[in-house]
A and B are shown apart, each in its own frame.
Chain A
């Protein structure tokens, strides 16, 4: 019987102590933020999806299209598309596709990039109901008003054109020489060659 009363006393005591805390908290300032109107502070190191960095000097991206980010990515969510343009040193980035649906924000791509051409963005408001909305072309994102043409180096262009012409010339010469060479022994061998091809097909 005494145990019964003891239980009631300790129970009441624990209730009073607990309610004291609750009552105190009742009058403290709430810490909840009303989300769409207020939002929490974002930290500069926050890892959003990756983005291309704009070089402040040239106003373009710094990517040299080495493909290291693509190779190092554990989820294979990066596709770097590049092409050679006349008069431009190295390759030119034409598209940088990030499939954000599989990105794990690990940072391997950022670490692998030697020229520091990519970084994490601070973007977090990305809600959407469509999967396609998470496949970004980061190049388009970097230049929403249109991707600027790469700077053409006239000297390099001249050199390249010369080289190309020389190569063309060399190729033409080679072709002519080959034709000459073939012309002589070709006539007798022609028949056999053709029939062989026919057999194959």
Chain B
């Protein structure tokens, strides 16, 4: 048989992963063309949870846009709060009291740990292991309790304000956080013993979903996905904001470029976040948590403003064009998962379906943030 005839014989079929599927973390739909058990083409189809956040930013006043910040990436809402606060403080020239900045960093890092914990638990669940999720949820619940005691909410935080934070932290929170750190550090080792060392997990992750640094650059991947491919890029170090320059921490980078590397970056980041929180608690100054002169009617001067932060999934940045009125002329949100998942199409070509799901999980997507 000639090669042409053979290729005509090659049968492909279409398969929908999602939008409702336990392994897709939300309403992500991936249309895959399968060649037997191998993926021929995979196309992520977005838009199932599109809510026009950018447009809302243009219709609402500056203050009214606050609750939207908790509803983009529901797992690291505080980092998103941080970005919006930073953006508007830059636009309005507000100087934030130091105590408020430290509180911001402490809460944002706690939020990052809980995000990675859920990412870890849910990832293992994607791969078929249920119990690690329960271990992760146990610790995550402690963090949610701590954050609830200061912010009043458990998931969709609306805690930051232009010029500071909504309310001050108390001694209970500080002692609670210290106790949590003490309890949590050994837990990370336990996760490594329980999960990372497991031979089944290693078989499913090592060498799976290779992402070369070039493809990461091409699609603008950030966060643990990029750092798992050997590129040391973290907004907290590369474009320092808030009080991060005063704190001593490392950026974990792995050069293996596979799913295991991305998984390990997240696990190591939890340890680094613990370090940041501990230092920030030690350095926490006294003073007010709200800048004194915040105008009631916000009207940032005409111009183009930009601010970026490192959220749990990568770089989140906002750009707004103000025309001097009380709402934005154009609000642009750059979310990390959108770029991280875009590379799925190219990277998953020729992959086994089961491997592709392990690969997709290692990107740790959060769908509402992708669709915005």
Residues of A whose CB lies within 8 Å of any CB of B are 7, 10-11, 14-15, 17-18, 21-22, 31, 40, 43, 45-47, 72-75, 104-108, 111, 120
Query: Taking the nearest CB of chain B, how far is it from the CB of A12, in angstroms?
Result: 9
7 intermolecular pairs with C-beta atoms under 8 Å apart: A14-B197, A18-B197, A104-B156, A105-B67, A106-B67, A106-B158, A108-B64
Query: Are B158 and A104 in contact, with the CB atoms below 8 A?
Result: yes
Q: Which of B144-152, B264-272, B363-371 contacts A (4 or more CB under 8 A)?
A: B144-152
9 tightest Cβ-Cβ pairs between the two chains A and B: A47-B152, A74-B64, A106-B67, A104-B67, A11-B199, A43-B149, A106-B158, A45-B152, A14-B199
Tell me the complex Cα distance, A7–B63, Å: 59
Q: Check B199 against A10 for contact (C-beta < 8 Å).
A: yes
Give min CB distance, A109 to chain B, whole Å. Answer: 11
Interface SS, B side: helix
A74 to B65, Cβ gap below 8 A?
A: yes
- Interface: B66 (CB within 8 A): yes
State which residues 58-83 of B face A: CB under 8 Å: 60, 63-67, 70-71
Measured CB to CB, the nearest residue on chain B to A11 is B199
Q: Is B304 an interface residue (CB 8 A)?
A: no
* Complex Cα–Cα for A26 and B193 (A): 17
User: Contacts A43-B148, A47-B152, A106-B158 given; 16 further ones with Cβ under 8 A?
Assistant: A7-B199, A10-B199, A14-B197, A17-B193, A18-B195, A21-B193, A22-B194, A31-B138, A45-B149, A45-B150, A45-B167, A74-B60, A105-B67, A106-B67, A107-B152, A120-B152
A74 close to B66 (CB less than 8 A): yes
Choose one: A14, A105, A107; the contact of B198 (CB below 8 Å): A14
Bound Cα distance A201, B29 (Å): 63
A73: chain B residues within 8 A (beta carbon)? 64
Which of B161, B166, B198 sits near A18, CB closer than 8 Å? B198
Q: In the complex, which residues of chain A have a beta carbon less than 8 angstroms from the beta carbon of B70?
A: 104
A15 to B216, CA, bound (A): 35
Contact A46 B197 (CB under 8 A): no
Asked if A18 contacts B194 (CB within 8 A), the reply is: yes
> Shortest distance in angstroms between B149's beta carbon and chain A's nearest beta carbon?
4
A14 to B195 Cα, complex, angstroms: 9
Contact between A105 and B153, CB atoms less than 8 A apart: yes
What distance in Å separates the Cβ of A8 from its nearest Cβ neighbour in chain B?
Answer: 9
Closest residue on chain A to residue B71 by CB atoms: A104
In the complex, which residues of chain A have a beta carbon less than 8 angstroms from the beta carbon of B138? 31
Of A40, A75, A106, chain B has the most CB atoms within 10 Å of the CB of: A106
- Nearest residue, chain B, Cβ from A120: B152
Q: Tell whether, in the assembled complex, residue B131 and residue A22 are in contact, meaning their CB atoms are under 8 Å apart.
A: yes
Docked CA distance A10–B138 (Å):
29
Distance, CA A169 to CA B307, complexed state (A): 65
Q: Which residues of B contact A120 (CB under 8 A)?
A: 152
Query: Closest residue of chain B to A104, judged by CB?
Result: B67
A111 to B199 Cα, complex, angstroms: 54
Whose C-beta in chain B lies nearest to the C-beta of A8?
Answer: B199
| Among B64, B65, B71, B167, residue most surrounded by chain A Cβ atoms (within 10 Å) | B64
Contact between B66 and A21, CB atoms less than 8 A apart: no
B152 in contact with A46 (CB, 8 Å): yes
Q: Is B49 an interface residue (CB 8 A)?
A: no
Q: Is B247 an interface residue (CB 8 A)?
A: no
Which chain A residue shows the least CB distance to B166?
A: A107
B151 — which chain A residues lie within 8 A by C-beta? 45
A108 to B200, alpha carbons, bound, how many Å?
Answer: 50
Name B141's closest neighbour in chain A (CB-CB).
A31
A7 to B200, CA, bound (A): 10
Inter-chain CA distance A22–B149, complex, in Å, is: 31
> In the complex, which residues of chain B have a beta carbon less than 8 angstroms from the beta carbon of A45?
148-152, 167
- Chain B residue numbers with a CB within 8 Å of A75 are 67
